[in-house]
Structure 1
């Protein structure tokens, strides 16, 4: 027989047989010596497999629509198949070996997406879910051991997968992996090329082509081999039978058995008798024992694997193209948004995806800087100039003629070369070249959260913004800073390339927080991802965002830090209501120390710039 059954209505007899086998095995293990000792981690592994079984059970309803089925992972299944479904027990069993090379401690089926690491095992679970949902017919007791019922069960394999894919087409990948690794391996009778074996291989493999799981070019070798044994007419009849089975209702056992009888008639097999055993096939067709069918099945598995490898490469290339296109589109959108935000006299600009489509301008006016602020700006400018200073680079160069310092050893070598009539190569003069190393400019972007929870921090942040902009302008003419206030809208407080004369005051009364878009605007305006400058992004915020806002900001922060830009999150004040932004350096500072902390970060960024 070429394969194990996957649906078992005789669970009681199977359990009894399994118990008898276990007793016989235990007697054999105890005969003549002690049983092998249990591995030290056996108990832990059993507990892990119980966890995996429970997590698979929890995800089974999404696959099958049934909440009453229990999934168990067994070291040796009762049915002998890699996986099987027992309707009477509402039980699905899976062989632990199908998860190889992963042990139970490495499996996390509760996490969606974890199944992509073991697609064949998940495909087996999907297949049994198809049986649980759609194999609702039961053969009469007198038909259980007949060839007609065996043929109907062959047809049921592909019929349930077709029915399953109508509601879950995304599971096709896993069913393909299951065919490649498990279905072909489960085929036995490797030295039989009889009619029944050939038809069985066609029902398991070729029918899945008509389901849409396999491709024509993948099954072509097997189709030719089966046609060589059965003839194209008989193969065409079998093809019509399994396509007719696709249209049977889930509970139409009478039609499935009728198709099973038609299957037997096409092969010249008595449908009321048991299916032919391996010995009976050898006796009936002694010349058909070369094993060519199963060698061809193995070839089909290799073709499927090759197709998967090729498609994986193509999908990876397509993903890279899609990512590049998405990145280009995002860059264009960010540039357009930055143009609007940094436009002269621009009001609050609301990015796409935020409501309402208008936002109030948080700027409440401006004032002259205080003497203490001017003093702090000068102090910070001196610190920045000191951090940006680079020693002149010096390089020693030798030459055949002055200027420079004479190296006597090289001069003697040159005289000897000339005396010998050789072309002189010695260079007796050495001088030092000193080159001025340019000081790196500064790029600092400040994103200010002006939602209602930031009311107490806006005053110190407004002061720090002016101090930093004045200090950067006094350090290097190519240095630039910019400040953007954000809630559901974006408002430019300080624009790139402009040094403010007055301190701009603003209020914090907004709602949503468009931090990700604020980072995009500052990145465009200051080129924060471009090397060659001291680059810092400061987010003055308490971090109280929705999941969508937090994830979008974390994505931008990760990109900035990967390019060498420092990212700080400043939480100003004594409030304990805050959350940390993933990927940003968190600083909790008092209002009076705000400019000192920002200054330290900026000085460190300049000093680290090469």
Structure 2
């Protein structure tokens, strides 16, 4: 054991085909050109690509990688020839992928075939760290076999110190590299059990496999070797893990200690197991359980990583969609609130002269409206008031208020010869808390069914705009009348001196676009202000109009903006996510909006 070694210091043996070809050419025959198939061309391309990627793995650029479609010369799934600076990989480890689909030059392509890439990583670890050699006189002996066994996990451990992210690939290739060394017909004597421990348990101590994964092999090997002998072997491979890359003398000493512990002659070839030397196939079964456990754990990890990647992709898409939506909303707001703008119809590149504005004129505010604006302003200022914050600190010296208990404790500490730790002076610092501004957007349905509500809503829009201006210079309000088109009644940051009157004769409902314009114009999704959206409508929309408007309302609610739905007719149809307020008397609209605005600014965070 092992049946297949991964480091070959001698050139690969010459095959019968190569000998026959050489004899043919010596006899004067023409040089035989191998038949070129499409798969052969792909494997040449893959070999070149792997050779280009190898310097990142091995830290050296003089090693060539070849993918052998007819089996490797060494007989192993992968092998490294130090004298030839060559790594060979059996193409079967790439199964079930067709070579035409493989592109190692593309970063991340190795994620599709982790076992094959792990084989390359393993041989790259040998190329980088297995720089010592066994003397020619000892090759083929038990000490040489033991040294190669110990080198397997030592090289991988050294590789992980440079490239810890390659751990998952080395885990994926354990079955590929280890299973061929054990068969169901092989007896499990002490030497074979020790080999299994060196190939599996040593990888556990190297940080490649987990303890729970290697438990089946540990139990099987312990039953064959005993706890004391297994502990002795573990101490040997752990010492090998800390051996330098070029310290061949130390590695051979570890190998001799390995042979001595197992009662084998280090200078003779390893003993061939006989059918009666132990249980047949138990080691292969235990290693198979380890490989299955590793595969199961990697599958769970891969599923979790896929879920994380899918969530990240969804967040990126949502962010891109949100960014595009915000730009579109800003464009709508710019058109609707532009000075002298005509009604804007979403979906039309330019305003149409045929679209009639619902605005019928302006009038001076009544004394009652002025009084209502003043009352609302006082209510909003009271709601926006925040108590001063207090910070209390203790100190050993003034300024502050003297705490007699602390002073006595400090004197007692001094009298006792201890270091004074009591802090008798208490200082309270009070800072004013700025009051948040207010953002109120009002969307008025001016379709034909809302005719009775136009007068009180016009009055309420002026009262809210005037009151917010009186409350705080940073407070803003805006009103949009919507049917199929959008028309600005009051614009953000502009305090109207006159009450704008409008009529309700339109058709259709562009509430989603009206919400976008108010959100962009007032910043209804931005924290730091009391935010309120008021929708005055009966809710008689088509399913598509209702769905689009509901998405906007939920987005505002998630951002912390309150949404109030005013209904003036019986049997209203408020959209989900709104707070319904039915008003039998339209004249109460201003008071209802004032109450909702007060609540919004009180709960501002």
Residue of structure 2 in register with 1:5 after alignment: 5
Residue of structure 1 in register with 2:160 after alignment: 165
Q: Distance in 2 between matches of 1:150 and 1:225?
A: 22
Deviations 1:500-527 (A, max 9, x none): xxxxxxxxxxxxxxxxxxxxxxxxx9xx
Q: How does 1:292-311 map to 2 (within 5 A)?
A: 292-311=282-301
Q: Distance in 2 between matches of 1:255 and 1:302?
A: 35
Match of residue 51, structure 2, among 38, 47, 57: 57
The 3-state SS of whatever aligns with 2:280 is coil
Deviations 1:39-62 (A, max 9, x none): 9xx522111111111111111111
The 3-state SS of whatever aligns with 1:110 is coil
Maintained 8 Å contact 2:146/2:255: yes
Match of residue 239, structure 2, among 237, 244, 268: 244
Residue of structure 1 in register with 2:278 after alignment: 288
CA-CA distance at 1:227 after TM superposition? 1.3
Residue of structure 1 in register with 2:207 after alignment: 212
Residue of structure 2 in register with 1:116 after alignment: 111
Q: Distance in 2 between matches of 1:497 and 1:230?
A: 75
Closer, same or farther: CA 482–52 of 1 in aligned 2, 3 Å = farther
Deviations 1:549-580 (A, max 9, x none): xxxxxxxxxxxxxxxxxxxxxxxxxxxxxxxx
Residue of structure 1 in register with 2:217 after alignment: 222
Match of residue 19, structure 1, among 7, 12, 15: 15
Maintained 8 Å contact 2:187/2:276: no
Q: Distance in 2 between matches of 1:57 and 1:269?
A: 40
Match of residue 43, structure 1, among 19, 37, 42: 37
The 3-state SS of whatever aligns with 1:85 is strand
Residue of structure 2 in register with 1:136 after alignment: 131
Residue of structure 1 in register with 2:268 after alignment: 273
The 3-state SS of whatever aligns with 1:532 is helix
Maintained 8 Å contact 1:159/1:245: yes
CA-CA distance at 1:87 after TM superposition? 1.0
Q: Distance in 1 between matches of 2:117 and 2:99?
A: 14
The 3-state SS of whatever aligns with 1:377 is coil
Q: How many residues align?
A: 373
Residue of structure 1 in register with 2:83 after alignment: 88
CA-CA distance at 1:303 after TM superposition? 2.0
CA-CA distance at 1:299 after TM superposition? 1.9
Maintained 8 Å contact 1:148/1:261: yes
Residue of structure 1 in register with 2:476 after alignment: none
Maintained 8 Å contact 1:130/1:160: yes
CA-CA distance at 1:219 after TM superposition? 1.1
CA-CA distance at 1:183 after TM superposition? 2.3
CA-CA distance at 1:295 after TM superposition? 1.8
Closer, same or farther: CA 287–70 of 1 in aligned 2, 3 Å = closer
Q: Distance in 2 between matches of 1:319 and 1:167?
A: 26
Maintained 8 Å contact 1:53/1:73: yes
Maintained 8 Å contact 2:146/2:259: yes
Maintained 8 Å contact 1:115/1:122: yes
Q: Distance in 2 between matches of 1:380 and 1:212?
A: 76
The answer to whether structure 1 residue 197 and structure 2 residue 192 are counterparts is yes
Q: Distance in 2 between matches of 1:532 and 1:214?
A: 56
Comparing 194-203 and 305-314, the one that deviates more: 305-314
